[in-house]
Structure 1
Amino acid sequence: MVAMRRRTLAALPLLTAASALSGCAAFGSDRSGIVVTTNILGDLVRNVVGDETDVTVLMGADADPHSFGVSAQQAAALERAELVVHNGLGLEEGVIGHVEAAVAAGVPDLAVGEHVDPIEYTADATAGQPDPHFWTDPVRVRDAVDVIADRVIEHVAGVDADRVRANADAYGAQLDELHEHTSELFGRIPEEHRKLVTNHHVFGYLAERYGFEVIGAVVPSGTTLASPSASDLKDLADAVAASGVPAVFADSSQPDLLVQAMAAETGVDIEVIPLFTESLTQPDQGAGTYLEMAYGNAEAIADGLT
């Protein structure tokens, strides 16, 4: 992560120089639209904005927000935006340098995760660091929608504030229904099975909201860029065997060989269930929208642990 951070920051002088050459035009009346980093946030923003302004999403379907890097064209789009919406809390490790460059040049931004009562990781090497995966909690996503609406109305010229508020309220009602449905599903899981093991730490917010215990993660980190040691794998396998958890969960966009190996290490029959955790998919692949992703994950968790 440190190496990637240094490479990103090293590119900033070039980006800043390009901005200087473009003069006031890049940061004056020529600004237009909203640029969003992740596709999950992009879906939220589009539901809030509707057709009031253009929304450009940097990360396409199945992108890993931890490792994604922007193109020169995307970096330029960040500097031409009226508003940049990003997750924050350390999620977009390969993009944040370009976001910071745009902000330094005067582009307004919204780090959504910082406005929804973020929590910290509590285990392994990431303990004490902010957890960026707030979207696993629909209640916080509901709060995020209102924050997005406020910032769009404040910074994006020409939008109809009443329409933006109405869009946010309508989508918020759908998120309320998601929360109620998820609460009902998880209420059916026996107390002794309300335990989560994943391929990396991603469900802390869900666990806090719905009363799960996070046993651990195959990769003991909040980022997909880390790797487990042999002792990490053995310790987690022992914890899983002791807990009696019937299933572990792996991100559907990543190979689950490590999860399978950990399950085999326990010597007991443990199902490995794919979830959509870091990114939306193409429309016909199971998680084309945030709501589809969240409903699908809730049902998969409930089915796997009931």
Structure 2
Amino acid sequence: MQTTTTTARRTAARAIALLGASALALAGCSLTDDLGQAPADPTNAATPTASAEPTATSLPDDDVPLVAVVSTTPLGSVVGQIAECGGGRAETIMGIGDDPHSFQPSSAQVAEMANAPLIVISGMDLEGSLISAVESAALDGANVLAIGPLVDPLTFDETGGSHDHDGDGTPDHDDETHEHDSGYDPHWWLDASRMATAAALIGDALAEETGGAAFAECGAQLSEELLTLDAEITEILAGVEHRELVTDHQAFGYFAARYDFEIVGAVIPSLNTDAEPSSADLAELVHIIEEHQVAAIFANVGATTALADAVAEEVGFDVQIVPLYTESLGPAGSGAETYQDMMRTNAHLIADALEG
């Protein structure tokens, strides 16, 4: 991990430098454009306190300094663990069940972003409606760390995703309203090894921004724990023989690439959960499920399963609808209260559905 951690430190320093207000003002581009090189390592970290797994939405303690504001709950869980380990706290803008594609922040949340030492987002067009507020905060001097572009992102072609954000069923490559689209699949956190890389980046970024060297060591420590989680997920899924997935929308490309699955179809052939498939799309999916003998359609917890139910009813054998935690953690008692819990639960649900 020494090489990985050193690279993470360098990349984090570069990312923050390029995502500051002056860089945005001069470049006039998306927060997620830079995949660049990196400068020297920051100061070595001190030994941190033991890590924990707080939820992303735990109530703040006003006596504990706010060190970061985070966009999504899976990312918020990881940032929160690093922050708590290093003696700070992080606030997550989105709540349990919020869809990052369509989430709108309140005025109070926008103000909180502007006051945080660091704003951490996934990037690559995931937080579509939040990005304007993040860009405004950056122009006011806030430092922004977009993690997605820094964890070896995959293109839409590599994950089998459609570059369709507006939900009209057609790719958006020539759509002027998406001129800053990254061209990358933004669902990187469903690969635990990439989240391990992210943890090291975040720890070093927090150390750089706050001057608290312990955050860097906390990030490195959590990175190691997430690599162990990655191996655990691989083991949970090792016994699955039928490794073809059908999902409710195109969100599991990174998961499939990391854990040796193939995405053969999606109810909504888009990265956007609000897109509407045509009747021909649904008929083709029924054919694919029957041809590949797929036992389950994996849906998104909290989202409607009406279309998935309709597809399952048309298939000539029983097909389960299995909800997974895709873009949000789960509430207390769900088994998906932290990022680690979410990934373990998803792995068990997939294994149980496909082994049955």
Whether 1:131 and 2:185 are equivalent positions in the alignment is yes
Q: Deviations over 1:210-247 (max 9, x none)?
A: 11110111011112121212111111111111111111
Question: Which residue type is aligned with residue 307 of structure 2?
Answer: L
Match of 2:289 in 1: 240
Q: For the residues of structure 2 that align with 1:124 and 1:112, how far apart are their CA atoms?
A: 20
Q: Deviations over 1:262-296 (max 9, x none)?
A: 11122221111111111012222231100110000
| 1:167-186 equivalence runs, <5 A | 167-186=218-237
Q: For the residues of structure 1 that align with 2:323 and 2:130, how far apart are their CA atoms?
A: 27
Match of 1:155 in 2: 209
| 1:183-194 equivalence runs, <5 A | 183-190=234-241, 193-194=242-243
Q: CA deviation at 1:179?
A: 1.3
**Which has the larger displacement, 115-124 or 77-86?**
115-124
**Which has the larger displacement, 106-115 or 46-55?**
46-55
Q: Deviations over 1:88-146 (max 9, x none)?
A: 01111110010011112221110011110011223464278311111110100000000
Conserved in 1, the CA contact under 8 Å of 2:162 and 2:271?
no
Whether 1:74 and 2:125 are equivalent positions in the alignment is no
| 1:37-76 equivalence runs, <5 A | 37-50=71-84, 52-76=87-111
Q: Secondary structure at the match of 1:33?
A: strand
Q: Secondary structure at the match of 2:184?
A: coil
Q: CA deviation at 1:48?
A: 1.1
Q: Secondary structure at the match of 1:260?
A: helix
**Which has the larger displacement, 142-151 or 166-175?**
166-175
Conserved in 1, the CA contact under 8 Å of 2:161 and 2:250?
no
| 1:242-261 equivalence runs, <5 A | 242-261=291-310
Q: CA deviation at 1:305?
A: 1.1
Q: Percent same amino acid at aligned positions?
A: 37
| 1:1-306 equivalence runs, <5 A | 33-50=67-84, 52-122=87-157, 123=160, 125-126=162-163, 129-157=183-211, 159=212, 161=213, 163-190=214-241, 193-306=242-355
Conserved in 2, the CA contact under 8 Å of 1:32 and 1:80?
no
Which consecutive residues of structure 1, in runs of 5 or more, have no partner in the other structure? 1-30
Q: CA deviation at 1:198?
A: 0.6
TM-score, with length taken from structure 1: 0.84
TM-score, with length taken from structure 2: 0.73
Conserved in 2, the CA contact under 8 Å of 1:283 and 1:289?
no
Q: For the residues of structure 2 that align with 1:124 and 1:168, how far apart are their CA atoms?
A: 31
Conserved in 1, the CA contact under 8 Å of 2:204 and 2:219?
no
Question: Which residue type is aligned with residue 137 of structure 2?
Answer: A
Q: For the residues of structure 1 that align with 2:301 and 2:335, how far apart are their CA atoms?
A: 10
Question: Which residue type is aligned with residue 131 of structure 1?
Answer: D
Q: How many residue pairs align between the two structures?
A: 271
Q: For the residues of structure 2 that align with 1:228 and 1:124, how far apart are their CA atoms?
A: 14
Q: CA deviation at 1:53?
A: 2.5
Q: Secondary structure at the match of 2:348?
A: helix
Q: For the residues of structure 2 that align with 1:125 and 1:168, how far apart are their CA atoms?
A: 33
The structure with the greater share of residues assigned to helix is 1
Question: Which residue type is aligned with residue 99 of structure 1?
Answer: V
Q: For the residues of structure 2 that align with 1:95 and 1:189, how far apart are their CA atoms?
A: 38
Cα RMSD, aligned residues only:
1.7
**Which has the larger displacement, 262-271 or 109-118?**
262-271
Q: CA deviation at 1:32?
A: 5.8
Conserved in 1, the CA contact under 8 Å of 2:309 and 2:321?
yes
